[in-house]
Chain A
Amino acid sequence: MKAKLYVLSMTVLLVGLLSLGSLAAAQDEPVRVAVVLPSSTIDLAWSQAMYDALVAVQSELGGESAMEIAVSENTWDVTAAADALRGYAEDGYHIVIAHGTQYGSSLFELAAEFPETTFAWGTASDAGVDRGLTNVHAYDVRAQQGGYINGCMAGLLTETNTIGVVGPVPAGDAILYNNGFLQGVHACNPDAEVLVAYTGSFGDTALAAETAQTQIAAGADVLTGSAQQVPGAIDAIQAAGGYWFSTDVDQAPNWPDTVVASMAYDFTGVIKDIISKRANGELGGTAYELRLENGGISMVYNTDIEGVPEEVFAAGRAAEAEVRSGVVYPIAMLPDEPFRIAVVMPSSITDLAWSQSMYDALIEFQQQLGGQSAVEIAYTEGMFDVTAAAETLRGYAEDGYDLVLAHGTQYGTSLFELAADYPDTAFAWGTATDTGLDQGLTNIFAYEARAEEGGYVAGVMAGLLTESGVVGIVGPVPAGDALLYINGFQQGVAASNPDAEILLAYTGSFGDTALAAETAQTQIAAGADVLTGSAQQVVGAIDAIQAAGGYWFGTQSDQSVNWPGTVVASQVFNWTPVVGRMVENVLSGQLGGEAYELSLSNGGLEIVYGEVDLPQAVLDAANEAIAAVQSGEVVVARELPENEE
């Protein structure tokens, strides 16, 4: 008895000591990270971006005692890479990174065999979740963002209007970068010609140099390209006295007189997140995307460079702000043949309101993709009659358009039948949120605008600007985005000036300008000195308030164009990113099933100022209001209680 007790207690003690020991050891044990790279750690491109990030994280965590890095570089051979990956897994490395899309095939088998190891791979978006794997992360780069920004600057910088792109292989982040680059050039300089050529390799610098020299001979004075082959091309353009735009890493330090700007990848955020997830027991399952918004991509401008006008950098920064805020959405893939879009609208394309907002967006998108050879637009305006509109929509579907837009809530009933009849055509309608998914339809997109947000900001400004304390609203019909805008506006006025009186009247029509003028004049007679309103009828009201020397706030389109001294600001509906997303979906095979909204947070709604000299306090209040709405601190109600005073 005594012996058994002795053995038992010793065993318990031993086990306890061992676990304590291993616990202590686990806490002291550094995170062991291994990475397989297709090229060198100093390739000034893809591999270097990952390696530098790992080193940076290591030093941040406290050096080698906190994080151990093992590297297998120049492992471009997929079989050799698979061996290396297996070796690391067997060696007990905690995190094994396969830094190359081409490594994907071997990865999933490996992950299944080593369930305790965290695997990560990129560029990729498949984290193996539907295969039942829980220990794989994927990471991707939204390279088209930086591509767009570089493209815009390149378009403005070129003096010969000819730009060259030295691509490696039309895949991965390279093709995303190139597509974004093309869109940036088109958007900022529609006249520029872009010469695109692929070397077919990632590392052949001589071939890259030859490609670059060919493009230079064809007149290009600005070049770009990606992968570790680019030093060949950069040398060539430097010798010709031209300029270069970089991707992956900041290449300016090596060619300070030639590299204008770089889109640098920053993997540190992803790496740190993978490590901390693992510490919390999560071994995989996340698909990361490096973007401007999350710091995964950053633009580095070489402002010391000679010969590049300041306007180019200014345009770059402006483009960066637009991409970051969502105002501009560069799409991931470009169509091979002209993409055909058709739209049916209830009023005129020059109505300074609803219809114009969509038409302008389509034209802007067309330019972004390269003009009429890239995007074909057909439109029918003035279709206030729903039956005629239904016939027109059917006609477009019959004609084989890729995307058919029913730009009016009233078109909804006919649309659902139509979508069922033409399952291979993508349809879209707005303002709406119903995509028909619950009815089994997969080819309808829906879009709407959170018009109440801009209404709120306008209301805040109006409340501060009114000297008489009376503000007027000339509504069309109490429905749709007009009602949302009006409700938001009332909340804004109440927020900045609770004592202000709001005079609200509806004309009952969208186009009766004389009635809008009469309503405005009545409100002015009742003391209003600041007015707002919605729909194409407002031109009557704006004229009236201009004659009375007051102010106007607009919605849907920029109305300051015609009355710059009267229109303080307009909430502009920016449909271009929505159109871009729909086209992107259609190109990748998804014909519907998504609902989009324009908001102050996603760049879909923009407050565009006129030429009125505003007191700083008003501008500050507006910016505060925008920030509050974006952050969610202020939630603008879409409906107001019936008997609200």
Chain B
Amino acid sequence: MTGSNMTLDQILIEAFALMFLYATPFLFAALGEVFVQRSGVLNLGVEGMMLMGAFSAIYTVSEKGLGQEPLVGLLVAIITGGLLGLAMAVVSVTFKAEQGISGIGFTLFGLGLSSLLFKTLAGGVMTAQGRGFGALSIPVLSDIPIIGDIFFNQNVLVYVAFALVPISVWLLNKTSWGLKIRAVGQNPAAADAMGVNVNRVRYSTVILGGILAGVAGASLSIAVTPIFQENMTAGRGFIAVALVYFGGWSPWRVMAGALLFSIANNLQIWAQILNLRIGGTAIPPNLLIMAPYILTIAVLVFARQRKRLEPAALTKPFERGEN
């Protein structure tokens, strides 16, 4: 069965299988940003951190680079993202710079540096085919017809990303660290009065956010696809930040948002290749390309309760005695 001969359920199976794979980078980055924003900081530098994570991972793994195992590549991406997160924390928390602007600055920095390194170290072409993270079939479960392929025959990092969702929920709601994060994001003055070191908590979340952004980038370059190209994130970092708002700062709903966006995007590709028509006229490809973004905005419009879930202290630097 090929192309236009495929039935709707066959198409949906393929679409769902790819949905999880391509949702992974969004999920890593968005989950990181959940922690950051819940603590009251806005990190718009996710895109740049993803790019640096992507490049450092593939350079470590590729034969043309350091030729290491994928886990080493992941570790390098973690360190890279963590360092950038640390820098962002210094700028936003200690220097109390305007967070939106400093975030954009980090994005531009990450874009420029990754492109420069890509050109000088890799000569403009770098592939890690066969050397990155591969698919991992869960024994027994992957043999289940239909469901097996969609859920249990995915890339290693896909499992990690989705496992992070309940872990994030647990961290935020069941640990003291999580409590501190939420307190600092809602009312840093009160938290400070209770003896919580507001700035240290924010440092920890922003560094974590950087780490997860780095991992998100690595997932793009050594898992989802085994290549790097300049600016390959193509705005995914910003989509991830939008998904945090979309998901009301809750990891489960953020995951839902990532999956929704990803399935919508994959279905529009199917719509293009199957030459989908409405009443006889072909849908212009530009319209289909826009579809997932429009869908996300539409859902946002109807989910009006988002604003009240926003951490009250989001984007406000903390100065003891000022708030």
Contacts and interface: CB of A to CB of B under 8 A. Distances in A.
B202 to A, nearest CB: 31
A349 interface: yes
Interface in A543-590: 543-544, 546-547, 562
Interface string B218-240: 00100011111111101010000
Interface in A53-101: none
B13 to A, nearest CB: 9
B176 interface: no
Given A505-B272, A527-B1, A540-B227, A348 B18 contact: no
B234 A512 contact: yes
B230 A348 contact: yes
A472 B2 CA distance: 12
A537 interface: yes
B284 to A, nearest CB: 8
Contacts, number: 131
Contacts of B285: 475, 478, 504-506, 508
Contacts of B281: 643
Contact of B230 (A347, A472, A527, A643): A347
Contacts of B269: 505, 518-519, 522
A365 B263 CA distance: 48
B100 interface: no
Contacts of A527: 1-3, 6
B300 interface: no
Nearest to A546: B129
Contacts of A338: none
B305 interface: no
A477 to B, nearest CB: 8
A506 B124 contact: no
Interface string A392-403: 000000000000
Interface string B268-286: 0110111100001110011
A642 interface: yes
Contact of B289 (A508, A539, A543): A508
A423 B255 CA distance: 58
B273 A382 contact: no
Contacts of A525: 14, 18
A478 B289 CA distance: 11
Contact of B225 (A506, A544, A645): A544
Interface in B275-304: 275, 280-282, 285-286, 289-290
Contact of A469 (B2, B129, B227, B229): B2
Interface string B1-45: 111101000010011001000100100000000000000000000
A220 interface: no
Contact of B273 (A472, A515, A562): A472
Contact of A503 (B3, B11, B220, B225): B3
B119 interface: yes
B153 to A, nearest CB: 13
Interface centre among A350, A508, A509, A526 (most CB of B within 10 A): A526
Nearest to A513: B229
Given A350-B123, A546-B129, A511 B3 contact: no
B60 interface: no
Interface residues of B, number: 45
A513 B125 CA distance: 12
B205 interface: no
Contacts of A162: none
Interface in B130-175: none
Contact of B272 (A469, A501, A504): A504
A522 B234 contact: no
A517 B224 contact: yes
A488 to B, nearest CB: 18
Contact of A513 (B14, B119, B227, B265): B227
B3 A350 contact: no
A501 B3 contact: yes
A350 B22 CA distance: 26
Given A501-B4, A526-B2, A547-B129, A518 B266 contact: yes
Nearest to B17: A525
A472 B3 CA distance: 10
A443 interface: no
B223 to A, nearest CB: 11
B225 A514 contact: yes
Interface centre among B115, B229, B230, B231 (most CB of A within 10 A): B229
Contacts of A536: 229-230
A518 B224 CA distance: 9
Contacts of A511: 229-232, 234
A426 interface: no
B127 interface: yes
Contact of B2 (A470, A505, A540): A470
Interface string A479-518: 0000000000000000000000101111111011111011
A540 B15 CA distance: 18
A350 B282 CA distance: 36
A351 interface: yes
Given A508-B289, A543-B226, A348 B273 contact: no
Contacts of B125: 350, 352, 539, 562
Contacts of A543: 127, 129, 225-227
Interface in A318-369: 347-352
A467 to B, nearest CB: 11
A525 B1 CA distance: 10
Contacts of B290: 508
Given A504-B275, A505-B272, A511-B231, A348 B119 contact: yes
B127 A518 contact: no
A521 interface: yes
Interface string A624-645: 0000000000000000001101
A352 B124 CA distance: 9
Contacts of B11: 526
B282 A514 contact: no
Contacts of A643: 280-282
Contacts of B226: 543
B163 to A, nearest CB: 22
A468 interface: yes
Interface centre among A475, A504, A539 (most CB of B within 10 A): A539
A503 to B, nearest CB: 4
A562 B226 CA distance: 14
A543 B127 CA distance: 8
Contacts of B6: 526-527
Given A350-B123, A513-B227, A506 B286 contact: yes
Contacts of B25: 514
Nearest to B129: A543
Contacts of B4: 501
Contact of B18 (A350, A475, A503, A521): A521
Contacts of A544: 225
A226 interface: no
Contact of B14 (A347, A526, A642): A526
B298 to A, nearest CB: 19
A348 B120 CA distance: 12
A522 B115 contact: no
Interface string B72-89: 000000000000000000
15 contacts: A350-B123, A350-B125, A352-B124, A352-B125, A472-B273, A505-B272, A507-B289, A511-B232, A511-B234, A513-B227, A518-B265, A526-B6, A526-B274, A528-B2, A543-B127
Interface of A: 347-352, 382, 468-470, 472, 475, 477-478, 501, 503-509, 511-515, 517-519, 521-523, 525-528, 536-537, 539-540, 543-544, 546-547, 562, 642-643, 645
Q: What 3 pairs between A and B have smallest CB-CB spacing?
A: A350-B124, A527-B2, A508-B289
Given A514-B25, A543-B127, 19 more contacts: A348-B119, A382-B230, A472-B273, A475-B285, A501-B4, A504-B273, A504-B285, A505-B273, A508-B286, A509-B234, A513-B227, A513-B228, A517-B227, A518-B269, A522-B273, A526-B14, A527-B3, A527-B6, A540-B229
